[in-house]
Chain A
Amino acid sequence: MKSKAKVVIVGGGVVGVSTLYHLAKKGWSDVVLVERKELTSGSTWHAAGLLPLFNMSYSVGQLHKYAVDFYKTLEEETGQNVGFSVVSNIRLATTQDRMDEYYQYAGVAKTIGVEVKFLTPEQVKDIWPLCNTDGLIGAIQHPEDGYIQPADLTQALAKGARDKGAEIYRNTNVVGIKQNNDETWTVETDKGEIACEHIVSCSGNFARQTGKMVGLDLPVIPVEHQYIVTEPHPEIQKRKEQGLPEMGVLRDSDSSWYMREEAGGLILGPYEKDAPACYVDGPSKDSEFELFQEDLDRLESHIESAIQRVPIFGEVGVKKVYNGAICYTPDGSPIVGPAWGLKNFWINEGHSFGITAAGGAGWQLGEWMVDGEPTIDMMGVDPRRFGDYVTKSFLIQKNEEAYANVFTIHYPDEEREAGRPLRQAPCYDRLKDLGAVFGQKFGWERANWFAPKGVEQIDDWSFRRSKWFEHVGNECKNVQENVGLLDMTAFAKCRISGPGAERLLDNLVANKLPKKNGRVNLCHALNKNGGVLSEYTIAKESNDSYYIVSAGAFQRLDHDWIQQWMPKDRSVKFENLTNSIGVLVLAGPKARDLMSKVSSADFSNENFPWLSSQKIDVGLAPTIAMRMNFVGELGWELHHSIEYQNHIFDRLMEVGKEFKLKPFGIRAMDSLRIEKTYKLIGTEMSIEYSPFESSLDRFVHLNKGNFIGRDALVQWQQKGFQNKLVTLEVKEVKDADTLGNNPIYKGDKVIGRATGGNYGFRVEKSLAIGMVQPDYAAVGSKLTMDILGTTYDVEVIQDSPYDPDNNFIRA
């Protein structure tokens, strides 16, 4: 065993071995993997080996696509058969909402280059003659996917990695991990120590135990998953004798199970409710190739529906029931990327579709570690998308829920119930009394919309305009005509101060920092490749002190990024203010009149211009008012110490009656921001796009001096950009607005994708924001776009269709 290596990977499941392979392939040959028992002995060995390309997430979808393409090349490269059966997979639909989900998904697939076919029930019958098609209204098929032998895949990856110089130490137990003073690492094993620069945690069911060794509370707890293997059935054996192809993987989404052929019989894998979390305190240290007691009672309704759908499934005996642990995270996607707060500690954990994701996760982690940045937007799998609010008890509830929802319809406005309410702003109960229907973001309860009197305070999810559409429209109208109040306490907030603060921040963002005390600038942090990593609102509080606000969902990510760049000389102090400061946003033409009545301050344009901030009082409470908002109206964000929130809230609501003040929610905000072509991180802005492509030109000052990503951005600019952000009017929409990830066409050619969309209640148009090839980005450009399977004419219009000259925000 080596005593020194560049990288030590902890864990020899398919994910760890793929990471090892990809690092070696990127040229880091001095990489080793330690496995406590044998390769695959955790969860890989009992995985059903399915390779579903289907995924609603743009990030995860790209990882899966890479894997499926990559696995097909692996045998040629390594000489090891990986048992890839390209048998296709069919997902059935029995409801219109399910078909809508497939249409929405097909858009994602189209934009990342995955082939999807729509099938009629008759076509399903042709491919799967043993399937009863009663009740089906349609299906989709992925011709390119199928299943693989997980252990063979792992061995092939291991061979490929070893061929490139990597080493694997089996039966080697990691007993401790130490960070040295020079920030390198020492991995202590029962066979000796290995000094290394990087560590990658790929320990699957042991994720939390590995994390604990370095003080990380990883958001991973496995859930039990069972699948049933039958003995051979004469009908399937007859098909084999006749030389007919395998019928492929069948997924009855509405009954929540998958089925495929296995050795002349069938495999059924249901995703049931009430599957328990397992290994809550980690597996036993001797655990190896372990299965749990089967519990078929839990699966009864799925078994019944499977027998109804595929009658031969009930005609043969059950050979074996596998009940094994599969890792989960609260949102069901893995965590792949750097650990927060630690240098060169990487995470590739929480894989519930590990066989499918291993290829892509290893690939992107390799890019990230070797080149410093991933090449696709990894926001959807970034380990920092969760925060301290994720406790063990929260994980158990959320992960069990994520498991139960694998096959449920993934509505764009879905809000799941487990683990709620958790983080509540002080005004939570007041909002609830006012009719708020909440969602959860980063643990925070946020009002999505408000049910007026007489309307049930219950959400209504759909891919189309649903029950809340009308009420959200009224919220928007009230913001336009009167004044609205929005709780944004969930914002991430921090203060950066000290003699080195200005230098640190100036290097972090592409915009110039606000010069004068009390000024506020919108600034963007780029990654090292020049893509947009984050958006910060930076207010200069005093010399050497800045107050920074960013999206609530990215608190850990943003704060980790800032802290990574902090100088070691203690010239900069970082304070996380997220939980101590509340934010209420007041917006609308009557905002000034209202503010003037609840505060002793002067809110005139002369005294309080756009993009400035002041310490004021609201009622009796001290408040920082910042003149800005995300909805395009006259308004102020009121940042206050959290204990004053209800005082401020009550004053505003009481005095606001006269001005028809009403609360509004996140869904109204999204409609209002689309009308202003305001961009969001993760959709319009991402590391896959330069700030120029995202139309952030006025926030980028290439000549201000060096900043992170500047040189890469200049190079990128010289090479030329592939995308341009545009605002689109979608013509003749009846009941379904753009949800994002819709393919945009010129003729038959895909020339872009929508990043977001909504109905603009103020401009009374269905709008979308999209990224298109620059040739098609001119105002007036006539294109088409797919929404839920229907093609719409779209036209590029001027950005900010509502108040393009910003007269209202500066009023």
Chain B
Amino acid sequence: MKILVAVKRVIDYNVQIRVKSDSTGVETENVKMSMNPPDENAVEEALRIKESGKAEEVIAISIGEEKAQETIRTALAMGADRGIHVKATHDVEPLAVAKILQKIVEKEKPQIVLLGKQAIDDDSNQTGQMLSALLGWAQGTFASKIELEASAAIITREIDEGLEKVKLPFPIVATCDLRLNEPRYASLPNIMKAKKKPIDNYTSDELGIDVSPRVRQLKVTEPPKREKGVMVADVAELVQKLKHEAKVI
């Protein structure tokens, strides 16, 4: 069994995001980038499945600019066997990502596709669902536990009401929650070895996918700055202010 894991290169979660002065997006120049955190859970889960003997190969795929290869290398250093890079020069929207993944799934024929539940940069939370629909496969989103049986996966989902268990017959698409596992750190020898693992390259044109944006972005702005707090003398003043200034009661 093969597992395909989709990983995205995003601004590191520690970085304070700065909006570009022309409001066209956020600053990425000289900014530290990392693998989208839930994608790390996806890679980790794939590796655990492989290590348990239930899969033979883990393939990491990323879509994006040249440097997306670094994110693939991170997955390879963690233990993925090979990589696929689909080059794109601008941001690719979830539907196009899902269509690209569909093409790769058709080529590679994995039984499981793992993705992060969403990316921390655009927070779309759509790709896994779209891919499942395009492929006509079963989907388990927000997985906090994945158990494999001979012909199906039992996926525990975190939902508002509690935990939901679903049984999905293979092949499946699952999106991973941060509580699924604790991703491993790659050791330096593995980081070095990862450089020698193969990465196949495609372009969206080669795959016949139109990646032009469907959404027009008007403007990116910073959220309003938090105003300085005020000290109140007593409860009466607090109530008064909440009522008349904040207008929340």
Contact = CB atoms under 8 A, between A and B. Distances in A.
Nearest to B19: A286
Interface stretch (B26-34, B162-170, B206-214): B26-34
A585 interface: no
A318 B186 contact: yes
Contacts of A303: 188, 192
B184 A317 contact: yes
B182 to A, nearest CB: 11
A269 to B, nearest CB: 14
B16 A289 contact: yes
Nearest to A289: B16
Nearest to B191: A296
A314 B192 CA distance: 11
A803 interface: no
Interface string B27-65: 100111100000000000000000000000000000000
Contact of B16 (A288, A313, A317, A319): A288
B187 A323 contact: no
B18 interface: yes
B189 A293 contact: no
B243 interface: no
A297 interface: yes
B217 interface: no
A307 B185 contact: no
Contact of B30 (A288, A292, A314, A318): A292
A315 B191 CA distance: 12
A214 B46 CA distance: 58
Interface in A300-348: 300, 303-304, 307, 313-319, 323
Contact of B188 (A293, A314, A323): A314
Contact of A319 (B18, B27, B33, B185): B185
A284 B28 CA distance: 12
A317 B79 CA distance: 12
A323 B32 contact: yes
A231 interface: yes
A678 B45 CA distance: 75
A680 interface: no
Contacts, number: 51
A291 interface: yes
Contacts of A296: 188, 191
A686 B197 CA distance: 60
A86 interface: no
Given A292-B32, A297-B195, A323-B32, A307 B16 contact: no
A290 B191 CA distance: 24
A228 interface: yes
Nearest to B70: A293
Interface size class of B (residues with CB under 8 A): 20 to 34
A12 B184 CA distance: 37
Contact of A307 (B12, B31, B184, B188): B188
B187 A291 contact: no
Contacts of B89: none
Contacts of B27: 284
A294 B27 CA distance: 18
B195 A318 contact: no
A794 to B, nearest CB: 50
A378 to B, nearest CB: 34
B28 to A, nearest CB: 10
Interface in A269-301: 278, 284, 286, 288-294, 296-297, 300
Interface string B1-24: 000000000001011101000000
Contacts of B33: 293
Given A289-B16, A291-B32, A317 B189 contact: no
Contacts of B16: 286, 288-289
A303 B195 CA distance: 14
Contacts of A319: 185
B189 A318 contact: no
Contacts of B15: 290-291
Contacts of A313: 188
Contacts of B188: 228, 296, 303, 307, 313-314, 318
A323 B16 CA distance: 16
Contacts of B189: 307, 314
Given A284-B27, A297-B195, A300-B192, A291 B185 contact: no
Contacts of B14: 289, 291
B18 A284 contact: yes
A561 B203 CA distance: 65
Contacts of B70: 293
A318 B187 contact: yes
A231 B32 contact: no
Nearest to B183: A317
B18 to A, nearest CB: 5
Contacts of B18: 284, 286
Contacts of A289: 14, 16
Contacts of A317: 184-187
Contacts of A231: 185
Most buried by B among A228, A291, A313: A291
A795 B52 CA distance: 78
Contacts of A294: 32
A314 B187 contact: yes
A296 B70 CA distance: 11
Interface in A419-455: none
Contact of B32 (A288, A293, A297): A293
Nearest to B30: A292
Given A284-B27, A289-B16, A293-B32, A316 B185 contact: yes
A319 B18 CA distance: 25
Interface string B68-82: 001000000000000
Nearest to B189: A314
Contacts of A284: 18, 27
Contacts of A314: 187-189
B165 to A, nearest CB: 32
A304 B192 CA distance: 9
A794 B27 CA distance: 65
A228 B77 CA distance: 15
A317 B144 CA distance: 24
Nearest to B29: A284
B63 to A, nearest CB: 19
B1 to A, nearest CB: 26
A293 B14 CA distance: 12
Name the residue among B14, B15, B16, B32 with the largest chain A CB count within 10 angstroms. B32
Name which of A278, A292, A314, A317 has the most chain B CB atoms within 10 A of its CB: A317
Contacts of B187: 314-318
B8 to A, nearest CB: 16
Interface in A199-222: none
A329 to B, nearest CB: 22
Contacts of A291: 12, 14-15, 32
B119 to A, nearest CB: 18
16 contacts: A228-B188, A284-B27, A290-B30, A291-B32, A292-B30, A293-B31, A293-B32, A294-B32, A296-B188, A307-B189, A313-B188, A314-B187, A314-B188, A316-B187, A317-B184, A318-B186
Task: Rank and list the top 9 A-B pairs by shortest CB-CB distance, nearest first.
Answer: A317-B185, A291-B32, A314-B189, A303-B188, A317-B187, A293-B32, A286-B18, A318-B185, A314-B188
Interface of A: 228, 230-231, 278, 284, 286, 288-294, 296-297, 300, 303-304, 307, 313-319, 323
Given A286-B16, A293-B31, A316-B187, 6 more contacts: A284-B27, A297-B195, A300-B192, A318-B185, A318-B187, A323-B32
